[in-house]
């Protein structure tokens, strides 16, 4: 009788352990999921992204342009401080809707693409500001000059779509072109250049 009771107790105990270890709502599993950080890396989807710029012309209007070729991506981490952004822009792809002006922009008066083919940005700090707004600090390398800049971005959305897992951000920042060695035509063009961007990334 004693052996029978002992065997029954062992079987019940084993059953309980098996149930706890396989139950989908176990507290141990929930705790592990809660503390495990999740990071997702996205590559820029060029066909759904834009980088534009504007600069005052003669003090009466803005001349707009864009870059048609750029690459890079970003990593979103549940620990926002571990999120990252990296963008590389092909300066030869500048497009202001005028061939002669674009050839001039590629030349030594402006981007000087034979020496400085690319512009890059690498983040060094990401901080959440609330309501899907983030402050990003990083190094902008333009025209052979590297400067630290900070700006805000807004998360437009993030979703699993029929075209894959995607996330999008938009924002802008202002630089003084003189700080980057582009000092030509001070009486014609404004010093401040505003960069606007809308970046959509796809997981991968």
Say whether pLDDT at 6 is over 70.
no
My answer on whether 121 and 69 are in the same domain is: yes
Which pair of tokens denotes residue 104?
A: 């001039």
| Number of folded domains that form the chain | 2
My answer on whether 27 and 42 are in the same domain is: no
Average pLDDT over residues 24-51: 70
* Residues in CB range of 63: below 8 A, 6 or more apart: 54, 55, 56, 57, 96, 189
CB contact at 8 A, 51 and 89: yes
My answer on whether 110 and 96 are in the same domain is: yes
Say whether pLDDT at 99 is over 90.
yes
Average pLDDT over residues 166-191: 98
Percent of the chain with pLDDT over 90: 80
pTM of this structure: 0.80
Say whether pLDDT at 87 is over 90.
yes
Domain membership of residue 17 as a residue range = 2-31
């Amino acid at each position: 009788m004693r052996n029978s009771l002992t065997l029954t107790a062992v079987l019940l105990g084993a059953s309980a352990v098996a149930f706890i270890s396989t139950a989908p709502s176990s507290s141990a599993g929930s705790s592990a999921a809660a503390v495990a950080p999740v990071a997702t890396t996205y590559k820029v989807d060029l066909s759904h992204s834009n980088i534009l710029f504007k600069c005052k012309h003669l003090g009466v209007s803005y001349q707009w342009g864009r870059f048609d070729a750029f690459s890079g991506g970003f990593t979103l981490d549940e620990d926002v401080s571990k999120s990252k952004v990296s963008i590389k822009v092909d300066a030869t792809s500048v497009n202001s809707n005028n061939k002669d002006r674009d050839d001039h922009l590629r030349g030594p008066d402006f981007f000087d693409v034979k020496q400085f083919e690319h512009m890059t940005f690498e983040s060094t700090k990401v901080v959440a500001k609330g309501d899907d707004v983030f402050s990003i600090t990083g190094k902008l390398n333009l025209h052979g000059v590297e400067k630290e800049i900070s700006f805000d971005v807004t998360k437009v959305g993030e979703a699993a779509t029929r075209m894959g897992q995607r996330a999008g951000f938009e924002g802008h920042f202002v630089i003084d072109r003189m700080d980057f060695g582009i000092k030509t035509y001070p009486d014609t063009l404004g010093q401040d250049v505003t960069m606007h961007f809308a970046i959509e990334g796809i997981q991968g």
